[in-house]
Chain A
């Protein structure tokens, strides 16, 4: 399977703990995106990278959230001091080029904060 992969698929953590998620985009896709989806809602944009550069961040991405894509390939999303409101599905997507806006999504990481 050469699609977008995310790890882990599920994460249960206690409030106050830090968590890190990983996304591996489709090979050769230079753009990578993070979204958050809560129950009954559509995905909400968090941030995106072109190669290793983080080009845009949503105001949803508080200072407890940080995303990196150090070598322009995989990306990590870290949430520090998790809160119950962080419980959601975190989706990663990738696309190729700068004019092609087709985003291909991974299966997501389901985070539950207890």
Chain B
């Protein structure tokens, strides 16, 4: 069965510091992987996706993610966090039916 684990429920980083959000997945075939961001009261915005090819993918807002098949991971990174990045981040796997992790809430301290 498909599943996604986001081990960190909350993460707090200082503004300007680097960020890494972890995501591990279980999927029977070559996975389609996504990161979404959700601000309070809002829908989900697609940050980036991995379908195939280069394992380091670039997304919007300065985010990137690296697909590591051997570790079944797809971690999200950003070199320098801005206060406006505070939100909840969801990793998802699948094609038509997306399976989401439980999310990681990012807090940014000034």
Residue from A4, A43, A93, A106 whose CB has the most chain B CB atoms within 10 Å: A43
In the assembled complex, the Cα of A101 lies from the Cα of B94 at a distance in Å of 8
Task: Give residues 86-114 of A contacting B (CB, 8 Å).
Answer: 91, 93, 101-108
Rounded to whole Å, the gap between the CB of B59 and the closest CB of chain A is 12
Is A103 in contact with B98, judged by CB distance below 8 angstroms? yes
Is A43 in contact with B44, judged by CB distance below 8 angstroms? yes
The 8 Å CB contact of B102, one of A4, A42, A58, A105, is: A42
Tally of A-B Cβ pairs under 8 angstroms: 58
Contact of B99 with A by CB under 8 A: yes
On chain A, the residues within 8 Å of B36 by CB distance are: 105
Contact of B96 with A by CB under 8 A: yes
The stretch from B11-19, B45-53, B63-71, B73-81 touching chain A is B45-53
**Which residues of B approach A to under 8 Å, CB–CB?**
4, 32, 34, 36, 41-46, 49, 51, 90, 92, 94-103
Contact residues on A (Cβ < 8 Å of other chain), bracket: 20 to 34
Subset of 11 A-B contacts with CB under 8 Å? A4-B43, A33-B97, A42-B90, A42-B102, A48-B96, A91-B44, A93-B44, A102-B34, A103-B34, A107-B42, A107-B43
Rounded to whole Å, the gap between the CB of A42 and the closest CB of chain B is 3
On chain B, the residues within 8 Å of A58 by CB distance are: 97
Is B46 in contact with A45, judged by CB distance below 8 angstroms? no
In the assembled complex, the Cα of A43 lies from the Cα of B44 at a distance in Å of 10
